[in-house]
């Protein structure tokens, strides 16, 4: 069935821009998704819904605290867009100091900035004009924020005759962060044109991103769309620019990439180097033929004490609540942890962790996967203070992810710890299977006090550090030399 035409009330909104930047198919599936697509759509978890409500709570706190003493005109949050726009224009014409949840409109574009703040400077309104400000429960301006605010700036120019000189957010600490939206004009126009084509029914070419699964509800539909044509979007770590360049040269499928003559395409388009194309070709062959390649031998240090480290965090609230360690030494193998029962206990957990570092033996190595752990250590050190033993601990850290991504080529769409270790035969024990879900569990624990929920998180964390140790063992066993492992794989037990 061909897509329906977008209706007269199908406005292009800031939400469309956010969705497009996360997953280009999100706005398309929202409008034109068919029954089989909808069947694949992921429902928002209770935690995701709750965190949306928390965002609204943060807005209320900002309005009560930051805007205290400021006369605020609130526009209705629901209703006919045209009527809401007229009410917003009236408040702007009257010179209201602050307009909350105003509606801006021009052509078929609609935006609803959290705040319109009056500033000095002539416009069609008088000796004042407005700048857009959003209230966000995060620490800093994100790319998605900039694009949405740039849309508001574009709409404001058409409403007040003056392009706002700045736009920004009020973050979770109630700090203001601004940027010049004029710098986004060209990029915004490009995104808006692409969304306009989507609104007319044009389905974007396949894209498979982690954010399609983590944030968008349409990840499974995106994957099915790419799999239906065996599209090169299925290849790990090939960015959109190179995918588009390869398509322009007639390389459309995984088979095309696996069979391509690298010398014929190297330098034929920007970003297509011989080395990069060789890597892409190997990834395509791996995916097509189910071959696991060791393209560079792995050498890891020998030590009397191995520590495998993983952190669980409540990122929406910027809290670390569990540090887990799988320790291997002359005493055997064991799991140790430091836990903040509640967010307010984070500082105590950190102090206990620092004290524990003093008890470690002189020789040890710390393995982790991806840069998250050292990043959080730096953040909490800034929050609560460090120690010489923390510096030593950090100096002993080895990230296994570069060994997985630079030394191996695997028949996988993503190279997360879970994807890789499951491919190698490791399994997680409980119902809790992802870091995102662990946030939901922790929030449930904090609300209910149900100890079984907390124990599920601890089990999940223990499995994460066991998986890190499992990956290290696999690398030490199967990645010592160049190799090409075909099914049946030698690590699969009968």
The per-residue pLDDT for range 267-323, each reduced to its tens digit, is 999 999 999 999 999 999 999 999 999 999 999 999 999 999 999 999 877 899 999
CB atoms within 10 A of CB 104: 29
Give the model confidence (pLDDT) of 188-202 as tens digits.
Answer: 999 999 999 999 999
Q: How many residues does the chain have?
A: 494
User: In this structure, what CATH number is given to the domain that contains residue 250?
Assistant: 1.10.150.20
Same domain, yes or no, for 195 and 250? Answer: no
Of 323, 315, 333, 314, whose CA–CA distance to 355 is shortest?
A: 323
Confidence of residue 80 (pLDDT cuts 50, 70, 90): very high
In a domain, 300, yes or no: no
- Say whether both 242 and 174 belong to one domain: no
| The token pair that represents 152 in the structure block | 């508001």
| Tally of helices (H runs) and strands (E runs) in the chain | 20, 17
Nearest to 47 by CA among 462, 451, 447: 447
CATH number of the domain to which 317 belongs: 3.30.420.10
Confidence of residue 44 (pLDDT cuts 50, 70, 90): confident
Residue 36 domain-assigned (yes or no)? yes
Q: Are 128 and 119 in contact (CB under 8 A)?
A: yes
Q: Are residues 98 and 167 in the same domain?
A: yes
Lowest mean pLDDT among 13-27, 204-218, 367-381, 426-440: 426-440
Q: Which of 22-31, 43-52, 143-152, 195-204 has the lowest mean pLDDT?
A: 43-52
**Bond preceding residue 488 cis, omega within 30 of 0:** yes
Q: Per-residue pLDDT averaged across 5-27, rounded?
A: 86
Residue 491 lies in a domain: no
Residue 493 pLDDT exceeds 90: no
Range of the domain at 347: 306-485
Name the residue among 390, 381, 387 with its Cα closest to residue 309: 390
Residues 265 and 310 in one domain: no
Residue 50 has pLDDT above 80, yes or no: no
Q: Tell me the average pLDDT of the chain.
A: 94
Q: What is the pLDDT of residues 436-487, one digit of tens each?
A: 889 899 989 999 999 999 999 999 999 999 999 999 999 999 999 999 999 9
Q: What are phi and psi of 362, to 5 degrees?
A: -60, -35
Task: Give bridge partners of residue 118 from the DSSP assignment.
Answer: 130
Cα(454)–Cα(443) distance, rounded to whole angstroms? Answer: 10
**Total domain count for the chain?**
3
Same domain? For 318 and 263 the reply is no
- The reported pLDDT for the residue numbered 4 is 44
Indicate if the pLDDT at residue 1 is higher than 80: no
Indicate if the pLDDT at residue 8 is higher than 60.
Answer: no
The last residue of a domain, from among 228, 257, 279: 228
User: Average of pLDDT values for 24-36?
Assistant: 97
Judge if 210 and 236 occupy the same domain: no
Q: Residue range 229-233: average pLDDT? A: 98
Are 144 and 178 within one domain? yes
Cβ(151)–Cβ(81) under 8 Å?
Answer: no
* Domain edge (last residue) among 195, 228, 261: 228
**Contacts for 65 with CB less than 8 Å, ≥ 6 apart:** 174
- Check whether residue 146 and residue 28 sit in a common domain: yes
The mean-pLDDT minimum among 25-39, 130-144, 355-369, 409-423 falls in 130-144
Question: What value does the mean pLDDT take over residues 368-374?
Answer: 98
Q: Are residues 270 and 385 in the same domain?
A: no
User: Which residues are paired to 311 by β-bridges?
Assistant: 323
pLDDT band at 7 (very low <50, low <70, confident <90, very high): very low
Whether 212 and 164 map to the same domain: the answer is: yes
Comparison of pLDDT for 67 and 255, the residue scoring more: 255
pLDDT, one tens digit per residue, over 86-118 is 999 999 999 999 999 999 999 999 999 999 999
Nearest CA to 133 out of 150, 114, 158 is that of 114
Residue 296 lies in a domain: no
User: Residue 177: what pLDDT?
Assistant: 96
104-106 β-sheet, strand order? 12-13, 109-111, 104-106
Instruction: Pick the last residue of a domain from 191, 206, 228.
Output: 228
CA–CA distance, 463 with 209 (Å, rounded to integer): 25
Q: Is the pLDDT of residue 3 over 80?
A: no
Summarised one tens digit per residue, pLDDT across range 385-400 is 999 999 999 999 999 9
Q: How many CB atoms lie within 10 A of CB 54?
A: 15
Residues 264 and 404 in one domain: no
Whether 295 is in a domain gets the answer no
**Can you tell me the mean pLDDT for 221-226?**
98
Provide the pLDDT confidence category of residue 51 given band limits of 50, 70 and 90: low
Whether 473 is covered by a domain: the verdict is yes
- CATH number of the structural domain spanning residue 105: 3.90.320
What does 162-207 look like in DSSP terms, one character per residue? S--S-EEEE-TTS-EEEE-GGGGHHHHHHHHHHHHHHHTTPPPPP-
Q: Are residues 15 and 142 in the same domain?
A: yes
Residue 402 CB coordination number (10 Å): 11
In a domain, 299, yes or no: no
In a domain, 493, yes or no: no
**Which of 232, 230, 234, 254 lies closest to 243 in space, CA to CA?**
232
pTM score, whole prediction = 0.90
Q: How does residue 2 score in pLDDT terms, banded at 50, 70 and 90?
A: very low
pLDDT of residue 163 exceeding 60: yes
Helix pair 451-478, 417-424: axis angle to 10 deg: 60
**How crowded is residue 256: how many other Cβ atoms within 10 Å of its Cβ?**
17
Rounded CA gap, 278 and 235, in Å?
13
Instruction: Quote the CA–CA distance of 459 and 372 in Å, as a whole number.
Output: 20
Please choose, from the candidates 315, 326, 320, the residue with its C-alpha nearest in 3D space to the C-alpha of residue 342.
320
């Amino acid at each position: 069935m061909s897509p329906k035409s977008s209706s007269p009330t199908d406005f292009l909104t800031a939400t469309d821009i956010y969705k497009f930047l996360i997953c280009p198919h999100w706005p398309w599936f929202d409008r034109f998704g068919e029954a089989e697509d909808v069947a694949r759509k992921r429902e928002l978890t209770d935690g995701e819904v709750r965190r949306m409500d928390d965002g609204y709570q943060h807005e209320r706190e900002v309005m009560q605290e930051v805007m205290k003493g400021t006369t605020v005109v609130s526009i209705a949050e629901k209703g006919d867009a045209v009527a809401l726009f007229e009410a917003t224009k009236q408040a702007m014409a009257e010179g209201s100091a602050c307009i909350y949840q105003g509606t801006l409109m021009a052509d078929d574009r609609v935006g609803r900035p959290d705040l319109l703040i009056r500033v000095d400077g002539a416009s069609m309104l008088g000796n004042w004009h407005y700048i857009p400000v959003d209230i966000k429960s995060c620490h800093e301006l994100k790319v998605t924020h900039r694009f949405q605010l740039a849309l508001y700036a574009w709409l404001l120019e058409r409403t007040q005759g003056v392009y706002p000189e700045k736009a920004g957010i009020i973050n979770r600490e109630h700090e203001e962060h601004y940027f010049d939206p004029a710098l986004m004009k060209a990029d915004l126009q490009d995104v808006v044109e692409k969304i306009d084509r989507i609104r007319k029914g044009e389905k974007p070419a396949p894209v498979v991103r982690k954010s399609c699964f983590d944030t968008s509800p349409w990840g499974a539909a995106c994957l099915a769309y790419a799999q239906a044509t065996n599209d090169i979007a299925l290849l790990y770590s090939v960015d959109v620019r190179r995918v588009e360049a390869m398509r322009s040269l007639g390389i459309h499928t995984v088979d095309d990439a696996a069979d391509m003559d690298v010398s014929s395409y190297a330098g034929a388009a920007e970003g297509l180097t011989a080395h990069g194309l060789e890597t892409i070709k190997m990834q395509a062959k791996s995916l097509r033929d189910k071959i696991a390649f060791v393209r560079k031998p792995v050498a890891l240090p020998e030590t009397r004490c191995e520590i495998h480290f993983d952190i669980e965090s409540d990122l929406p609230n910027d809290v670390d609540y569990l540090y887990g360690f799988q320790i291997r030494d002359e005493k055997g193998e064991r799991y140790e942890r430091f836990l903040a029962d509640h967010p307010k206990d984070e500082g105590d957990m950190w102090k206990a962790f620092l004290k524990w570092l003093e008890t470690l033996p002189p020789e040890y190595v710390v393995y982790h996967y991806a840069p998250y752990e050292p990043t959080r250590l730096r953040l909490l050190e800034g929050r609560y203070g460090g120690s010489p033993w923390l510096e030593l601990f950090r100096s002993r850290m080895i990230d296994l992810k570069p060994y997985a991504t630079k030394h191996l080529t695997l028949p996988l769409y993503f190279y997360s710890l879970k994807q890789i270790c499951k491919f190698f035969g490791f399994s997680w024990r409980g119902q809790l299977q992802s870091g995102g879900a662990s946030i939901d569990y922790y929030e449930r624990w904090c609300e209910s006090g149900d100890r079984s929920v907390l124990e599920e998180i601890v089990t999940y964390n223990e499995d994460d550090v066991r998986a890190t140790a499992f990956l290290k063992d696999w690398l030490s066993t199967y990645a010592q030399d160049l190799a090409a492992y075909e099914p049946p794989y030698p690590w699969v037990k009968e």
